[in-house]
Structures are given as structure tokens and as C-alpha cells.
A and B are shown apart, each in its own frame.
Chain A
């Protein structure tokens, strides 16, 4: 099982800046949600592809947190404001309302305390953008039902004993958590593995069956 931690193309040694076409498709979808000039924190920013794009194309004040030291070093060497750290331990130190948008891409399922991370995101940011792999996808359901073993799919492709994804959830589970916490879902969509928008975005039930990834924009209620 694996939610694909970011692995965007590394910056060239000549300091080549990212352009949108180099960016992973789901990051492009996230970038579309963020208005020009916003203050953004990208948690799990990898080598900073989204940060570089938001800085260059939208004049954003974009900062990042990355748990992998090699990726963080690459991002810093590209001139981006990235710190080595993680969602569970570093968000508590930011002041209330420090950002317009706080982004957590394909990482929620791997944090120790997802509920607390979401709380922190909406404490330090006005909006939270969260993407996660959907454990309710039909292939996952089918594999568990038919074989009686933990699913192994394109999205969830690491064995249960070595996956970093300790908190998988489904799209409907996530809606429930938002209701429980009183978060307003400003937009949501389900996408396939490559980040293409899927046609079943009107129905949460259908999205939960056919969507491989989910993308939510939230605010406090």
C-alpha cells in the first residue's frame, strides 16, 4: 500500500524553475484552487514543485515542510523556503491564521494523528486543501472480498507490514470526519491515479467506488 509520497522532477543543476507542464497533475489541480498572492504552506512538499509553481506563476508566498531530508535539501538548494519537519510535530508552532491555504497532498493517510493534523491545518490556515488515496475504490474492496488479503493495487502497492500509510480512509469516511469536526467542504473531487478529474463528482457514493484519489478544500464552520 502506498499513497505515492511526492516524487516530482528534481530541479536541474542549472537552477531551472518549474513550469506547470512539469508538475504532477494532482498538484496542478491544487494549484488551480489557490488564488494569486496567497500565503501558502505545503505540508509534505517534496522537492517543492508546487511551491516553485505558486511562487513563479501566482506570486504566492509559498513555504513548505518535508519529512525526507534529501528532498528538503533539494528544495532549499532551489531557493525555496522549505524546512525539514513533519505534519504531526511541526504545525503546532505556527501562529493562528498564518496562511491563506494549507496544503496536505497524499500524506494524510501516513500521519500519526490525522484528526489533529486537520485541526492544526485549519487553525493556522483559513482554507485546507487535502488529497488522499481512496480506500473505498472498487478494486480495493474486490481484492479484500475475493482474496481475503490486504489489497495490492497501483495506489496501494506496499505490503501491510511496510507501508507508511497507517490511516487509510474512504471518501465517505472523510465526509463523516468533516461533519464531526464541523468543517465546511468548499469543493471536492475524485480523480484517477494520474490526477485526471473523474466524471462521478456529483455523487459521493459513486466517487467512493470509482475514485482512486480524493481532493478536498475545507474551511472552519
Chain B
């Protein structure tokens, strides 16, 4: 494994700061609250064309422009932009870095504050409070209000972003005309929690993690975070996709050895791990994976998922991908059935793809057509 990586460079993110802070589910008030965000397109005079995009576990607010640390294209560049399904000539697209993230929003990497909001001259680290997906959504709601938007035309997101979409629809139904939870579920399964725990254990086993206080000597637990990413990355792909991409191909080695990465797939995963540590904070990873694990929308509504949506006027678009075993179609179907039980207006398709969970980020024409058509239909109805 590579040598310890220096903390990643400071970037000035566009932020909204709320001095009064945010009351969290755990009972703590965190103040001030900073929400880093990006917008694309123009808010119309009626303020009726705003679409909030919610990012996944390791995503960020740079949806449709180069990520400032990696220089790589925005993570949903294929979907968001002029003339694309999420058409920025028609919609005003907003994306915020989640609470607990590491791209400018309040999170473990940002400066710790006391209960009165005074800075303490050190990062939060593992002293950052336990947060929930609902806390993330509350922070986004503050941003949306700050931007002068009373009702969002749409809230869209995949994976953990889809959990936020569901939480938005359940918590602020009057502020969400249309909701598109994609490749997601109403709770994190035992298997998903188990994979997260392997990632967290890898970070915590890295001597450079130092009980979460790695910021004291400017090192980062690169090995642990890298292994966490490698494990997680396997869950984002399908066996078919791995076989198609790598099969049993060797990396030019003439003989099998136990000493170094021999197979193409190993080298690919190591590359995924080592690039990840240059853009993501280990304590953020611990915080956000926990928030996902805690997510259980039915449990928050007396064990009845339909109760979370009863009486809702929000229109739903649910999509899953056939080879996604992290958030399988059965989870989306259970969500659809709960929405039907709540008499909600819902569309649902399973997109045929062999690319696994990652498919929601990739160029899947049927998915883009269906989501684009759903959004266009909603915009037509609202006269946008």
C-alpha cells in the first residue's frame, strides 16, 4: 500500500451559513450550520422550477461540473445539463453536500464549535454528533428556504440520495411536488449494514486513524479508508460487470504469486481505494455510513411504511436496476406497494442492466428516458 497521504488541499466551496444552527435527532444543536452547494440553470420568477439533487454516500455537490479535487466530470454529468433529462434550460438544479460530508458542509472535518457556537480551534473528528438521514434533509431544507424556494418541483437521488428523497417526501410533503427515489430502499438491510461495518472496522484498525484524532499530526488513515472503499466498490458492481471488465485477466505477470496484485481486478480495486483517500475524509465516512445504517423509514412511522406517505399529494418515480444486489428491485417493489397502500401517485420501472448498483450513475438510456419523461410530465402539469 502507498505511503500515508497528506490531508487533501483546502478548496473554497460555495456555502450558506446559518448562525442559529440545526437541532439534530440526537438532541444536540450544531451551530453554526454550513451547507455547501452548487446550482445549475436559472430559478424562474415564480420560483417553481427548482429540482434538488441528493447525492450518495461518497458523492458531493459537484453534480454537473468538474470535481475540484479530482478534476473529473460531475458525478451525474450524463443526466444533468442543457437538453439532458434533468434539463438545466428548464429546471433550476440545486445540489448540497450532505451534513456530515467533507466537501464544505458542516461535518467531522470542519472546525468544532461549542454549544454556543464558538470555534474551538480543532476539527470535530469523532466528536461530531451522530446524525441521521433526516438531519441531512433538515439541513437541505434550510438551504432551499434560503434560496427562496417554498416548494421543490422535484427531489431526486440514488442510493443514499434516494433515502434522502424518501425522507423529504415523508417529512416535508407540501414542499415536494415530485419525488424520484432511485436504486434505494426504505431501510438499510442487515447485509448492507454488514458491509459498512467491514469498512468502518478497516478504518478503525489503521494505526494512523488514532482513535479518530489523525488530524493532530496531519496524517490520514489511508490504508483503512482505502480498504473500506475497495469493499464498498465491490458492492456497487455486479458479478457480470466484474467478469466482463476483468475476468481472470492477469496484469502482465507470467506466474501467479502471493506477493503483489496479480489480477487486473485487484489492481483496479487498489486504484479505486488509493484515489478515494485523496478526496474523502475517514471520519466523514464513519459518520455517513452510520446515518445510512440507522435509516428505517417504517420504524419511524410505527412500523408501517405506508403511514409515512398517507395522504401525500407528491408524485413518485421509483426505479431500480435488475443487477443491483445492494439495493435490489424487491426493496423498490416493497416501497411501491407501500406507496400504493397510501394511495399515492407512483410510477415504477426496473431498468434492465448488468452494471449493478452503479448503473444509476451511468448512461442507461431507458432510465434517462423514463426519468426525463416523468419530470417533463410534472413540469407540464405545473406549467413550468
Taking Cβ atoms with an 8 Å cutoff, the residues of A that contact B are 15, 61, 63, 69, 72-73, 75-85, 90, 93-95, 98
Q: A61-B345, A84-B349, A85-B333 are in contact. List 16 more A-B contacts (CB 8 A).
A: A69-B350, A69-B352, A72-B348, A76-B349, A77-B374, A79-B374, A79-B377, A79-B380, A80-B377, A81-B345, A81-B346, A81-B347, A82-B348, A84-B348, A84-B350, A93-B337
The secondary-structure label for the interface of chain A is mixed
B351: chain A residues within 8 A (beta carbon)? 73
Residue interface bits B178-197, CB-to-A below 8 A is 1, else 0? 00000000000000000000
Q: Tell me the smallest distance from the CB of B154 to a CB of chain A, in Å.
A: 13
Q: Is the CB of B341 within 8 A of A94?
A: yes
Q: How many contacts between A and B, using CB within 8 angstroms?
A: 68
Q: Tell me the smallest distance from the CB of B137 to a CB of chain A, in Å.
A: 24
Q: Tell me the smallest distance from the CB of A74 to a CB of chain B, in Å.
A: 8
Q: Is the CB of A79 within 8 A of B366?
A: no
Most-contacted residue by chain A among B318, B337, B349, B351 (CB, 10 A):
B349
Which chain B residue shows the least CB distance to A11? Answer: B373
Q: Is the CB of A77 within 8 A of B369?
A: yes
Which chain A residue shows the least CB distance to B351? Answer: A73
B370: chain A residues within 8 A (beta carbon)? 73, 76-77
The residue from A69, A75, A77, A83 contacting B336, defined by CB atoms under 8 A apart = A83
A-B contact pairs, 12 of them (CB 8 A): A73-B349, A73-B351, A73-B366, A73-B370, A76-B348, A77-B374, A78-B377, A81-B315, A83-B348, A84-B349, A94-B340, A95-B341
B377: chain A residues within 8 A (beta carbon)? 78-80
Which chain B residue shows the least CB distance to A93? Answer: B337
B374: chain A residues within 8 A (beta carbon)? 76-77, 79
**Is B376 close to A, CB under 8 A?**
yes
Task: Give the distance in Å from the alpha carbon of A95 to the alpha carbon of B345 in the complex.
Answer: 13
Known A69-B352, A94-B341; judge A15-B347 contact (CB<8 A): no
**Is B343 close to A, CB under 8 A?**
yes
**Is B124 close to A, CB under 8 A?**
no
Q: Is the CB of A85 within 8 A of B366?
A: no
Known A79-B378, A83-B336; judge A63-B345 contact (CB<8 A): yes
Q: Tell me the smallest distance from the CB of B310 to a CB of chain A, in Å.
A: 9
Task: Give the distance in Å from the alpha carbon of A87 to the alpha carbon of B350 in the complex.
Answer: 17
Q: Is the CB of B376 within 8 A of A80?
A: no
Which chain A residue shows the least CB distance to B366? Answer: A73
